[in-house]
Amino acid sequence: RILLTTVLDQQRENVKGIAITVQDITREVELNEAKSQFISNVSHELRTPLFNIKSFIETLHDYGEELSVDQRQEFLATVNHEADRLARLVNDVLDLSRLESGRRYNLDAVDLGQAIEQTLRTYQLNAKDKGIEIIQEVEPKLPLVVGHYDLLLQVLANLVGNALKFTKAGGKVAIRAYKLTPHSHKSDRPDRVRVEISDTGIGIAPEDQKAIFDRFFRVENRVHTLEGTGLGLSIVRNIIEDKHHSKVHLVSEVGVGTTFWFDLAVFEEETAVPEKLTV
């Protein structure tokens, strides 16, 4: 975008010249494109379960009497399953748009041990069903961190959920939290706690590792049919990077497993000034 501005002299009477400002609007254009892409993806993703629900209901309505009880049950189970998928999608889209709306989230002292405990409680049964062992290693006397409890629960749930989803029976999922040893030469930086979620699952190929944080991106593979919206990691990235000013990292090897990790600042009493803790 090029802006032409006439430059007037001090008394704003005589035109002294013309200023040319070249403004890079690439980012603006890119953001708009990303937004339309997102809307078109959301519509597409919503259409599939809706279409399935509608066609199964139509079949039940038109031919229900000709079907056996078992067949009818099967149809209803599919409709129910598709409705769940729709609900998950809508929830994830709403979560993401709320996170991106610019709303303020107040950060506070968070007990990560408690958040991890709470997350694992909801996944224990799922892991048992799948024959996956969950390993929990939270350092004793782990300090409190600066964070948003509910948002961090969501991060943990998405990462543990993925780890379980992409790991086969007999595999392991580990969640660790420990304080990093402070570097004396970087004493101005607050102490940090590291949280790691690792699995012995299918792994992520190097060429896919960057894209997995993109909305709706799902690695094309045989597990593609597994439940998921492709929004989980976008939500994780927004919460860790945007709301906690940190970064999500991963190391992964196909067929060996994946580890996601992020650091959070240790909560110090003197940082408990509301405006410092507000993002």
Positions that interact with ligand ADP (CB under 6 A): 158, 162-163, 166, 199, 201-202, 204, 212, 217-219, 228-234, 258
Joined together, the tokens standing for residue 172 give: 């392991």
**In the bound complex, what is the minimum distance in angstroms from residue 89's beta carbon to ligand ADP?**
10
**In the bound complex, what is the minimum distance in angstroms from residue 147's beta carbon to ligand ADP?**
20
Reduced to 3 DSSP states, what percent helix, strand and coil does the chain have, rounded to the nearest 5? Answer: 50, 20, 30
**In the bound complex, what is the minimum distance in angstroms from residue 23's beta carbon to ligand ADP?**
34
User: What whole-number distance in Å separates Cα of residue 191 and Cα of residue 264?
Assistant: 9
Residue nearer to ligand ADP on the CB measure, 127 or 204: 204
Instruction: Indicate the pairing of strand 192-199 with strand 108-110.
Output: unpaired
Residue nearer to ligand ADP on the CB measure, 119 or 258: 258
Residue nearer to ligand ADP on the CB measure, 71 or 126: 126
Residue nearer to ligand ADP on the CB measure, 85 or 243: 85
**In the block, residue with structure tokens 């940090």:** 192
Residue nearer to ligand ADP on the CB measure, 147 or 228: 228
SS3 26: helix
**In the bound complex, what is the minimum distance in angstroms from residue 86's beta carbon to ligand ADP?**
14
CB 195 within 8 A of CB 179: no
Joined together, the tokens standing for residue 248 give: 């999500």
**In the bound complex, what is the minimum distance in angstroms from residue 69's beta carbon to ligand ADP?**
34
CB 258 within 8 A of CB 174: no
